[in-house]
A and B are shown apart, each in its own frame.
Chain A
C-alpha cells in the first residue's frame, strides 16, 4: 500500500467553489406531483416497463425490469399511480426525448415491501462470505444500483471477477474533483457509517487485499468522518486493510485512470479495464446505495443533488428520481442574472435544454450559470502551438494535434494521435490561450471515428456474411455435385449390377420398376 498518493501527469488546479454548497446538511426535496422516470438511467440496455397506465405502485416497487446483463431495474420513488408511459424530454447533451414512466404521486409516500439481501442477522454477520456472488449481483441489478458518479454503469456487472487476474485493490472514489459539486462530500460526512458498511461489504464479496477510500484533501471533514466510521467498524471486527487516502486537489484526480495511478502506481493502458490490473473502483455514493439495498432493501429511488452557482441558497438535496430539474433548481432560488443551468460539473457537464427534464440516477449537480461565475466565451483565435494544452492533459495527449486533425475532418489521423484516449476532462480547453473549444471538436471527431469504425465493422460483417454465403453456396454446389456424382456412380454400379444379374436371371431384372407394386 502506498503511503502517499502519487502525482499523476498533467491536471490543473481550479477554484473549488465547494464551500457555498457544502456547509449545510443535505435537505429533503419536497415531493413533486408528477415524477418522470426515463427508462434508460444506466449504461447498457434500458429495462422494460412492467407496469401499465393506471397501475398503483408503492415506494420502492419495481416498475421496469432489466432483461439483459448490462442493464439495471428501475423503481418507483414514491407511492402513486402510473399515468403515462411514453417519450418525454430528458437531460442529455443531445436534448432528445426518451421513453419514460410517469407517476402521479399520491402524497402518502408509502413503502412497498422491503426485501434486504442480508435479511437475517446470520446472513448479515458471519456468513457474509456464504452469499454467492451471483446472488448478490442479481440482487443489486434488481435494486437498480448503478454508478452514481456520472458514468452510470450497472454496479453488479463490475462485481464479476476477471478470469485470470485476481482482484487486489478496491478503490472507493470519493474524490469528487470537479468544482462546485459537493453531493458526495455531504453524503460521506453525514452517512459515513453506511458508506463504510457498503465498502466492507464489497471488500468481503470481492475478497480484495486492500481497500482504499480516496477523498480529495479539500474535504477534510469527509475524510475525518470516514475515518471515524472506520474506527467504529474496526471496534466490532478487526479491519487492517482499509484506508482513507487524501489526494491533492488537482483536477481530474477522480478520473478512473488517474485515480488508479495515484493510489496504486498502476497505469492502465489504452483499452484495458481496471480489473485487468487487479483493481476495481466504485463511487462513494454508489457504495452507499449498495449498502442501503443489501442491508435495508431500499432500491435506488433517490439521490443527493448539489444545487449551486448563481443561487440564493446553495446546498445539497436528497431528491426523488424523476423530479423536473427546473423545479428542483428553483428550490435554491436562482438569482435574476442566471441565464442557463449546467447539469453536472462545470468541466464535464452540459447545458439543460428543457426545464422539464427529470433528475436521473446520474444527475449529481445543477449549477445556475451567470457571467459572474463563468466567464463568457471569447472568440476563438488561431492555435499558436503553445503546448499549454499538452502540458495539462492528464492522458498525455497532444490536444493541438488532435484539434488540427479534427478541424480538418481527418478523423483517421486524429485517431492515430490517440483521440479515443481523450477522457474529455476539459483541462486543455480550460488553459488554451486561443480560446479554442477543444473538447467540442474532440467530441465531434470521436463520433466520426466511432461511426467510421461502425461502418467498417458493418462492412466487414457484410463481407463476412457475403463470403460465408459464397462459401456455403460453393460448398452446397460441391456437395450437390458430389451427391450427383455419387448417385450417378451408384446408378452406374446398379446398372452394371443389373446388367450382370440381368444376364444371370432375367426374372429379377424387372425388380426396380416394380418397387411400388404391392
Chain B
C-alpha cells in the first residue's frame, strides 16, 4: 500500500525489531545466570514466555481483536523474560504464571495494551508476588548448589515440600541483617563478613557479579544500537554509586561499597532493561535523568533500609508513578525558544 501522504521514505525499523534487540541483549546475562544456576532458569523463561503469549492471545480473543500483530511484536516476551530473570529461579510454576498474569493481563492489557501501561508489567508482577508470597519470593538457591535437572523440575512443577536447606541468604540479605544488628559488626567491614560466609566473589556478590556484568554488556549493546539512550542508565548508576559511597564512607562496618551495590541484585538489569522501559518511564531527556536518579536512590534506600530483599521493583514502580508529572515538567525547548517549564493543566500563554 502506498502511504497517503509524505514522507514516502521510511526507515526499516519496527517495534518487533526493537523488542528482538532487547531479547538479544538479555542473552549474555541469561547464559551466565543459567551456567551458575542450572537449567531451571531456562525452564522458567520458557514457562513465562508460553504463559505470556497465551494470556495475550486470550485477551485478544476475548476482545475479538486480531491478535497476530500483538503476538508477533515480542513485547510480551520481554516482560516474560524479565519476570523469569527477577523471580527466584526455583519458584513453583504457578508463581511464575501468576506473575505473568499480573504483568500481561492486569498491568498491560487492562490498561489498553502495548504503549498504554503506566507501570512496568514485570515489576508489577514482582511487587504483587513478593507481597502475596513473601516466603517463596525470597527463596534464592545458593550459587554453589548443584541440583540435577530432575531435581530442579521436581521443585518447579512438583508439589514436594520445599526444603529450606536449598536456599541460602543472598549477599543483599546479609547486608540487611548486618544493618539490623544495631551495633553493626564489631570487627571489620561488610566485605569481610561476606567473605567469611563465602558470599563474596571478586568485587561483589559471588556469582551474581558475573550475571550483572553480563547484563552490563547487553545494556551497552542496547545503547550502541540506539534502542535506549544513555540518560536513564547513567543517572541510575551515578546516583546509586553516590548514595552508596556516602553511606560507605560514613560507616564501612555497616554499609557496603558502591561497586558491591552496582553488581548485586537487580541493579544492572534495572538500570539498562527495566528503568529504560519507554512506555512506563519518562520520555523527555531531563525527565529520563530525573527518573534514573530517583530509581537509583530509591533502589538503594529500599534494599538497605526496607523490608524487601531488593529495591529495584519498588523504586521503578514509584518512579513510574512520577513519570507523567516529570515529563510534563521537563518539556524541552522548541527550537529557537527558551526552555519552558510547563505545569500540567496550566495554560501557557
Contact = CB atoms under 8 A, between A and B. Distances in A.
Given A346-B8, A426-B7, A378 B14 contact: yes
A9 B334 CA distance: 11
A384 B13 contact: no
B173 interface: no
Contacts of A388: 13, 226
A398 B13 CA distance: 19
B12 A375 contact: yes
A440 interface: yes
B6 interface: yes
A157 interface: no
Nearest to A443: B5
A36 B332 CA distance: 48
A206 to B, nearest CB: 23
Contacts of A417: 331
A348 B115 contact: no
B104 to A, nearest CB: 15
Interface string B2-16: 111111111111110
B146 interface: no
Given A339-B2, A374-B8, A426-B6, A421 B14 contact: no
A174 to B, nearest CB: 22
A175 interface: no
A439 B334 CA distance: 17
Contacts of A430: 7, 9-11
A397 interface: yes
Given A257-B335, A381-B15, A386-B278, A350 B1 contact: no
Most buried by B among A258, A272, A398: A398
Contacts of B113: 382
B interface SS class: loop
Contacts of A349: 6, 8
Nearest to A367: B8
Contact of A396 (B4, B279, B335): B335
A394 interface: yes
Contacts of B283: 385, 387, 390, 398, 400
Nearest to A267: B336
A379 B68 CA distance: 12
Bin chain A's interface residue count: 35 or more
Interface string A332-360: 00000001101011111111000000000
Contacts of A426: 6-7, 9
B337 interface: yes
Interface in A375-410: 375-379, 381-388, 390-391, 394-398, 400
Contacts of A381: 14-15, 69, 73, 114
B177 interface: no
A369 B2 contact: yes
A374 B1 contact: no
A384 B7 contact: no
B22 to A, nearest CB: 11
Pick the most buried of B69, B332, B337, B348: most chain A CB atoms within 10 A of its CB.
B337
A421 B10 contact: no
A347 to B, nearest CB: 4
B9 A351 contact: no
Given A374-B9, A430-B10, A267 B2 contact: no
B14 A433 contact: yes
A406 to B, nearest CB: 14
Contact of B5 (A339, A379, A385, A440): A440
A394 B335 CA distance: 7
A382 B115 contact: yes
Contact of B335 (A9, A345, A379): A9
Residue picked from B8, B331, B332, B333, most chain A C-beta under 10 Å: B8
B116 A433 contact: no
Nearest to B328: A401
Given A9-B335, A267-B336, A421-B335, A351 B7 contact: no
B278 A384 contact: yes
Nearest to A375: B10
Nearest to A15: B9
A159 interface: no
B335 A395 contact: yes
A429 interface: yes
Contacts of A270: 334, 336-337
Given A418-B334, A432-B13, 9 more contacts: A269-B337, A345-B6, A351-B4, A376-B2, A382-B116, A386-B18, A416-B347, A430-B10, A433-B18
12 contacts: A342-B8, A348-B7, A350-B5, A375-B10, A375-B12, A376-B1, A382-B15, A385-B115, A421-B334, A421-B335, A426-B6, A433-B15
Can you list the 8 inter-chain pairs with the closest CB atoms, starting with the nearest?
A426-B7, A382-B115, A267-B336, A269-B336, A396-B335, A347-B7, A385-B278, A346-B8
